[in-house]
Amino acid sequence: MVKVVGLFVLYALLFYSANGKTHHHTFVVKSSSYTRLCTTKHILTVNGRFPGPTLRAQKGDRMIIKVYNKGEHNITLHWHGVKQPRNPWSDGPAYITQCPIQPGKKYTYRIHFTTEEGTMWWHAHLGWTRATVHGAIIIYPKRGSLYPFPHPHGEVLIILGEWWKKDVMEIERNATIAGGGPLISDAYMINGQPGDLYPCSKPGTFKVTVEHGKRYLLRIVNAVMNDKLFFAIAKHKMKLVGTDGCYTKPLETNYIMITPGQSMDVLLEANRHPSLYYMAASSYFTIVDTEFDNTITTAILQYNGLYHRSPSPLMPHLPAHNQTQAATRFTKKLRSLASKDHPARVPLKVDTKLFITLSINLVNCSSKPCEGPYGKRFSASLNNISFITPSIDVLRAYYYGLDGVFDKDFPSKPPNAFNYTGNNLPQNLLTPDFRTKVTVLKYNARVELILQGTNVFEGDNHPFHLHGYSFYVVGWGFGNFNPRRDPLRFNLIDPPEQTTVGVPRNGWVAIRFRADNPGVWMMHCHIEDHQEWGMKSVFVVKDGANPQTQILPPPHDLPEC
Ligand SMILES: *[C@@H]1O[C@H](CO)[C@@H](O)[C@H](O)[C@H]1NC(C)=O
Ligand SMILES: *[C@@H]1O[C@H](CO)[C@@H](O)[C@H](O)[C@H]1NC(C)=O
Ligand SMILES: *[C@@H]1O[C@H](CO)[C@@H](O)[C@H](O)[C@H]1NC(C)=O
Ligand SMILES: *[C@@H]1O[C@H](CO)[C@@H](O)[C@H](O)[C@H]1NC(C)=O
Ligand SMILES: *[C@@H]1O[C@H](CO)[C@@H](O)[C@H](O)[C@H]1NC(C)=O
Ligand SMILES: *[C@@H]1O[C@H](CO)[C@@H](O)[C@H](O)[C@H]1NC(C)=O
Ligand SMILES: [Cu+2]
């Protein structure tokens, strides 16, 4: 009898921990009125909120999210950094894994949190809708397990965003027609608020109150469209403990550099003189002679207590916008935790090697003069392929074997070798090839991917995001990747595990992952401009031999094109 009860308890525990809890949410996408920078405008929101609702769960839990599109734009939602094992149907990128949810229509996303732990986020994945349709995802350790760092007294969510006084959908439309760079933003924001340094913004400035002597976990998400940011807190050091939903070795730092798409968890000890301190963010921007949003967003960290007078908050030191040295001084120190409970499972052997160049291109205009440099249009490419978005999704075409939607021969290396990071590159490199090509990977392939930045037209730091996976950043450097010398320096012990990595301007990164998630997964630059110009591609990961390693069947409510 005792044995039976014991077995039952064991079974119940296993069942419970294997399945977790299922959370239900309803997301109503609709237009709402918001006033920022002295101007009122209508923006697309979820449930009328900006930033959108925060999703909270524990590792192993599931979520069912019913989305109703009551707005006037097509939309899809993506769960950024969540692997969605075997279920690309709920991943979200428009025309890659689903057709848009059209105005008046609905779709239910099914999310399964498996290995992720920490801060991630969700956002719309169709053009510029993500400028205002985004929010955080927080995954706590499983019941009965702890953080791999001292327990914080409280947590503070910091969502970095970007604001335009004009309508973002119209800005996108205009830029697409004219072929130039879109209007730069009027402000950056912390939790939807520009902060004290912008007009009409002071009363709304985000403020957090802390107790002296306590420890806080800051969960930072970069949800801006086009800019990498430096973020710092006056007089306070931060201790980085996680990136993109994976733990890191604790890293003490005065500032972080965070690219669009990345999230970072940092510990803050409230151990300074009780007062008011600014948290602030500004752009890390490396392209010369190009206009960018050179403003600073602030929020206030206030110690609880009574002060004789209300002091004005101190400003932190933020590196200058072009301080690549400061950016790399931070990123080069990132290491995964690689502990017994959170091991680094880096593929030590590789059977699939890919080498992909990242270029910004310029193409001739067919009719009227265009607004890009030299009267041309902007474009962007991977291995010289500028991705043409198909009119039905790649996943459906793959699953049902529909012909004519995509080709399977995305090149595994650049079609022509050249000095990728050279100066004054020949003009004929400017024009890419416009195609819808995917890379097919065998199930469980051990993949090494070199992402090589190029100086075609202009080099930039491109934050690359892979859907369906996390990957290990085993190496990086400036200049051209050297296949003989550079692999000797790869870190196969404790490389950072990420889902978005900034490829240094005129440099490269090497990532490794095991292709153990069958499906159709997008990879793209998370600078919105670049991805719209074509700096994106798709991996089709084939099914494994047994049903547990195969893609799930499509849901019955999948939107139609
Ligand atoms: C878009 O272009 C039109 C026509 O040139 C112009 O009137 C409008 O102000 C532009 N909108 C934005 C948001 O730039
Ligand atoms: C950064 O820009 C400033 C001017 O804004 C310039 O003086 C400085 O040389 C630049 N530094 C680097 C590292 O490019
Ligand atoms: C683009 O236009 C330039 C100038 O008219 C011309 O020299 C060049 O051959 C064109 N390139 C392509 C790819 O058509
Ligand atoms: C490539 O270009 C860079 C920058 O101009 C230069 O320093 C380097 O020597 C070139 N490499 C080769 C192999 O030509
Ligand atoms: C890219 O493709 C275009 C069109 O096929 C071709 O003209 C150009 O030479 C290619 N560029 C490179 C760098 O391979
Ligand atoms: C919305 O999506 C449908 C299906 O793909 C498409 O036919 C329609 O043109 C889209 N609407 C807009 C405004 O892009
Ligand atoms: Cu980019």
Residues 122 and 240 in one domain: yes
171 lines ligand 1 (CB under 6 A): yes
423 lines ligand 4 (CB under 6 A): yes
Could you give the count of Cα atoms lying within 13 Å of 533 in the half-sphere of its Cβ?
Answer: 30
Find the ligand nearest to 506 CA.
4
What is the three-state SS of 325-391? Answer: HHHHHHHCCCCECCCCCCCCCCCCCCCEEEEEEEEEEEECCCCCCCCCHHHCEEEEEECCEEECCCC
Q: What is the C-alpha separation between 100 and 391, in angstroms, rounded?
A: 10
Q: If you ran DSSP here, which 8-state letter would residue 529 be given?
A: H
Residues 325-339: pLDDT tens digits?
A: 999 999 999 999 999
| Closest CA relative to residue 456, chosen from 319, 363, 536 | 363
Residues 301 and 445 in one domain: no
Residues 213-241: pLDDT tens digits?
A: 999 999 999 999 999 999 999 999 999 99
Residues 222 and 320 in one domain: yes
> Read out DSSP for 241-296?
EEETTEEEEEEEESEEEE-TT-EEEEEEE--S-SSEEEEEEEEE---TT-------
Q: Is the confidence at residue 477, as pLDDT, over 80?
A: yes
Give the mean model confidence (pLDDT) for residues 421-448: 97
Distance in Å, CA 284 to ligand 2 centroid: 12
Could you tell me what percent of the chain has a pLDDT over 70? 96
Closest residue to atom 4 of ligand 5, CA basis: 433
Q: If you ran DSSP here, which 8-state letter would residue 420 be given?
A: T
417 lines ligand 2 (CB under 6 A): no
Residue 262 in any domain: the answer is yes
Q: Is the confidence at residue 79, as pLDDT, over 70?
A: yes
Residues 320 and 364 in one domain: no
510 lines ligand 6 (CB under 6 A): no
Q: Is the confidence at residue 52, as pLDDT, over 50?
A: yes
Distance in Å, CA 325 to ligand 2 centroid: 12
Give the mean model confidence (pLDDT) for residues 409-425: 97
Closest ligand 1 atom number to CA of residue 164? 13
Residues 528 and 436 in one domain: yes
Give the mean model confidence (pLDDT) for residues 7-17: 42
- The CATH code of the domain that includes 423 is 2.60.40.420
Residues 400 and 263 in one domain: no
Give the mean model confidence (pLDDT) for residues 49-68: 98
170 lines ligand 1 (CB under 6 A): yes
- Work out the pLDDT band at 305, boundaries 50, 70, 90: confident
User: Which residues constitute the domain of residue 472?
Assistant: 352-549
Q: Is 1 exposed, middle or buried (0-12, 13-18, 19+ CB in 10 A)?
A: exposed
Residue 141 in any domain: the answer is yes
Q: Is the confidence at residue 2, as pLDDT, over 50?
A: no
Residues 167 and 61 in one domain: yes
Q: Is the confidence at residue 390, as pLDDT, over 50?
A: yes
- Work out the pLDDT band at 309, boundaries 50, 70, 90: low
Residues 252 and 375 in one domain: no
Residues 252-269: pLDDT tens digits?
A: 999 999 999 999 999 999
| Closest CA relative to residue 71, chosen from 161, 25, 132, 122 | 132
Residue 106 in any domain: the answer is no
Count H helices, E strands: the chain? 5, 32
Closest ligand 6 atom number to CA of residue 99? 5
379 lines ligand 5 (CB under 6 A): no
Residues 301 and 450 in one domain: no
User: Model-level pTM greater than 0.85?
Assistant: yes
Residue 338 in any domain: the answer is no
Provide the pLDDT for residue 3. 39
102 lines ligand 6 (CB under 6 A): yes
Look at the chain and report how many structural domains it folds into: 2
Q: Is the confidence at residue 379, as pLDDT, over 80?
A: yes
Domain boundary among 301, 331, 361: 331
Residues 416 and 542 in one domain: yes
Distance in Å, CA 229 to ligand 6 centroid: 33
Residue 210 in any domain: the answer is yes
Say if residues 156 and 207 touch (Cβ distance below 8 Å).
Answer: no
Residue 511 in any domain: the answer is yes
| Closest CA relative to residue 282, chosen from 224, 209, 213, 349 | 224
- Work out the pLDDT band at 98, boundaries 50, 70, 90: very high
384 lines ligand 5 (CB under 6 A): yes
- Work out the pLDDT band at 206, boundaries 50, 70, 90: very high
Domain boundary among 331, 360, 376: 331
Closest ligand 4 atom number to CA of residue 479? 3
Residues 101-142: pLDDT tens digits?
A: 999 999 999 999 999 999 999 999 999 999 999 999 999 999
Residues 243 and 200 in one domain: yes
431 lines ligand 3 (CB under 6 A): yes
* Non-local CB neighbours of 547 within 8 Å, separated by 6+ positions: none
Closest residue to atom 12 of ligand 2, CA basis: 322
Closest ligand 1 atom number to CA of residue 170? 13
Domain boundary among 264, 296, 331: 331
Closest ligand 3 atom number to CA of residue 430? 13
Q: What is the C-alpha separation between 554 and 88, in angstroms, rounded?
A: 9
Average pLDDT, the chain: 95
Residue 556 in any domain: the answer is no
Ligand 6 test: best mutation among 29, 72, 73, 74, most atoms within 8 Å of CB? 74
Residues 385 and 303 in one domain: no
Provide the pLDDT for residue 6. 40
Retrieve residue 469's tokens. 């996976």
Provide the pLDDT for residue 8. 41
Provide the pLDDT for residue 7. 39
415 lines ligand 5 (CB under 6 A): yes
Residue 558 in any domain: the answer is no
- Work out the pLDDT band at 311, boundaries 50, 70, 90: confident
Find the ligand nearest to 288 CA.
2
